[in-house]
Each structure stands twice: as structure tokens, then as C-alpha cells.
Structure 1
Amino acid sequence: MSEARAASRYAKAVLDLALEQKKAGEVENDMRKVLDTISGSENLREVLSSPVLTTSEKESGLGAVFADTEKLTKKLFSLLAENKRVGMLDEVARQYLAQYEMIRGQDVAHVTTAVPMTPALEKKVLAQLKSITGKEVTLQHAVDPELIGGFVLRVGDLEYNASIASKLGNLKRELIQK
């Protein structure tokens, strides 16, 4: 099973339990903290993916870093450690947030750019997406230097590819066909 599918299943299980226990909002806050902390700390990412550390060491480290989280979130840490999948915690958090936002009627837009987006540009993109979809949209941003320039935007099943790499690829195909 691919890591993304496994992360999605863990996230769905946690979300189902959180909704049942009426703790979905609190777990959402925990998942945002987890995602922000892991993405902001190269050391934590190395610790979580380290083959040298035992799963119990990784679990206790997570417990120390995220001491003020919900009991359900701590159970997720234990389950991931038990199944030797602690390295996918950030993806589980990302999937949880996406699934929870879908339940609340919000769409998640995935934007990939060649360079990081400025806060002003993010606001413009969010405003444009709200006018197109008619819903509140949450933006998930990724950076891929291989795009050269431009962006790739995905909302649900729709994709708009305005990257320089895509345009160069299209031009290459046209030239080869002629």
C-alpha cells in the first residue's frame, strides 16, 4: 500500500473517532501544530525517519514535543510507532486536515509553484478560488523548482497547469509532431 493511501486511512480512522468523541476541532488544532512543527524542523524530520532510533524512542520524543495534545492524538502517535510508520506523521496530519475540511464544506486547493508564495499572493489566490468555487477554500502550498515558473493548481478533480515546464513540454510535442 502506498504511503499516501496508508496516511489517508490513518487520518480517516482518527477523524471518525474524533467526530464520535466530539473532539474533531481539538484534534484539528493538534494536526495543524504537528504539521507546522514537522515542516519547520529539519531535526524532527530526521528523527522521525531515522532507522537508528527505536520506535519507542520516536514515540517518547513525539510525546515530549507535543505534550499538550489531545489523548486521541497521542494514541495516533502510539499506533504509528507500533506499526513502524512514524515517518508518515506529517502526511497523516495533512490528510486529516483535508478530510475534516471536506466534511465542513470547505475545499482544499493544492498549489505548486517554483518559488514560495508571498502572503499577498496567497490572499489573491484564495479570493479568486472563492469566487470560482463559491466555497471557502483552504490553500496547501508546495514548492517544486522543476516547474521553472508559473504554477499548478488542483481543486478537487480539476487541475490547471500554468507552469513554464508544462508549456515547454507542449511546445516540444508540437515541434516533434510537425
Structure 2
Amino acid sequence: MNIGIIPMRYAKALFAFAQDKGLEEKVYAEMSTLSQSFAEHSSLKTVLDNPVLKNKDKHKLICTAAGTQVSDVYARFIELVLHHKREKHLQSIALMYQDLYRKAKKISIGSLVTASPLSAETEDRMKEMLMKDKEGTLEFKTAVDPEILGGFIFGIDTYRLDASVATQLKRVKTQFMDKNRKSI
């Protein structure tokens, strides 16, 4: 079976169940924390793939990875995933649930990486400009990365604009190297 079909089916089922119980926002927060745990702790996936570890212990681990106090909907869903031995798909399920929730609630994802910190006023103006033509809400994250040297890296939903000095320097270097290779 296609590896993308399984997580999508489980994510849709969880979303529908959470909606029925009126807890889709709580489950969204739990799935966001879970996917963040997978991203930060690469050993989590390895531990869950261990066949020696009992489902009871895996359940505790997954619930802990999603936050301190998880909802009954989330706990029951994890039991279902473990019962059907689908724990290797949990990271994908968490990401797909987030996508389903964001589509249903019309939430856009925005990010801005700069070489130096932005003022709160500039950040607010940026959010305002982004949401002027969009319906819904915006989850906006900013980060500071001095390695980009200057400029910015901006993203919203699936669109990405890299206007960093570091990337421009890489392009110039690549063009220079290509041009010199041709002349030799």
C-alpha cells in the first residue's frame, strides 16, 4: 500500500473524530507538539520502531511527546494506531492532521528569517500585509540566522522567497565557476 495513503486515512479519521467531540483544536495542539518532538528527537522514531518495546510503554512515550496532559481523543487514537501497528506512520499522521486542520480553519503559515532581530512593529506590519488579501488567520514565525549575512528568507504556505545575501553570493560563485569551466 502507498505510504502516503495510510497516514492520510488515519489523519482524516482523527480529524473527523475530534470534530465530533469538539476537540479538534486541542488535538491540533497535541499533534503539533508530537511532530515537533519527532523533529527535535530523531531517536523517537527509532524507539517506536523497536519491536521489543511493549505497546503500553509506546503509548506512554507518545503521549509524553505530545504534551503533559493529553485529551482522551488523542489517547484513544494512539491506542488504535498501536493496535494496528502503524506507529511508524505517526510523524506523517501528525503532519497531515495539521494540514487538514489548517485547511478547515483557513490558517496560513508564514515565516521570516532575518540576519538580525526585527522590531515588533515591523513584524506586525508584515503580518498585516500578508493577511490583507487572505481570508482566515496566520501562524507567523520569525527567526534570526546570522549566517544569511543580510536580506531575508520569507515563506507563506507553499511559496518561498530567498533574498538572503548568502544565497546571492552562492549564485554568483556558481555562475563564476561555471563560466570558468567553460573557458578551460
Q: TM-score range by the shorter chain?
A: 0.5 to 0.7
Q: Indicate whether 1:84 and 2:83 are aligned.
A: no
Partner of 1:98: 99
Residue 2 of structure 1: how far off its partner (Å): 6.4
Partner of 1:54: 53
Counterpart-to-counterpart distance in 1, 2:130 and 2:15: 26
Residue 83 of structure 1: how far off its partner (Å): 1.7
Q: Which moved more, 1:119-128 or 1:97-106?
A: 119-128
Indicate conservation of the 8 Å contact 1:11/1:92, yes or no: yes
Deviations 1:68-90 (A, max 9, x none): 3222211332344422327x44x
Counterpart-to-counterpart distance in 2, 1:143 and 1:13: 38
Q: Which moved more, 1:111-120 or 1:12-21?
A: 111-120
Partner of 2:11: 11
Indicate conservation of the 8 Å contact 2:154/2:162, yes or no: yes
Indicate conservation of the 8 Å contact 1:153/1:160, yes or no: yes
Secondary structure at the counterpart of residue 22 of structure 2: coil
Rate the CA distance shift 1:173–1:33 in 2: closer, same or farther, 3 A: closer
Partner of 1:23: 23
How many residue pairs are counted as aligned between the two chains? 171
Indicate conservation of the 8 Å contact 2:38/2:45, yes or no: no
Q: Which residues in structure 2 correspond to 1:104-119 (within 5 Å)?
A: 104-109=105-110, 111=111, 113=113
Q: What is the root-mean-square deviation in Å for CA atoms of aligned residues?
A: 4.2
Q: Which moved more, 1:66-75 or 1:5-14?
A: 5-14
Deviations 1:106-149 (A, max 9, x none): 2122x363779678365454333223646421125678887565
Q: Which residues in structure 2 correspond to 1:153-168 (within 5 Å)?
A: 153-168=154-169
Structure 1 unaligned regions, length at least 5: none
Counterpart-to-counterpart distance in 1, 2:10 and 2:117: 30
Counterpart-to-counterpart distance in 1, 2:3 and 2:70: 28
Indicate conservation of the 8 Å contact 1:113/1:145, yes or no: no
Counterpart-to-counterpart distance in 1, 2:125 and 2:38: 24
- TM-score normalised by L of structure 1: 0.63
Rate the CA distance shift 1:2–1:122 in 2: closer, same or farther, 3 A: farther
- TM-score normalised by L of structure 2: 0.62
Rate the CA distance shift 1:21–1:54 in 2: closer, same or farther, 3 A: same
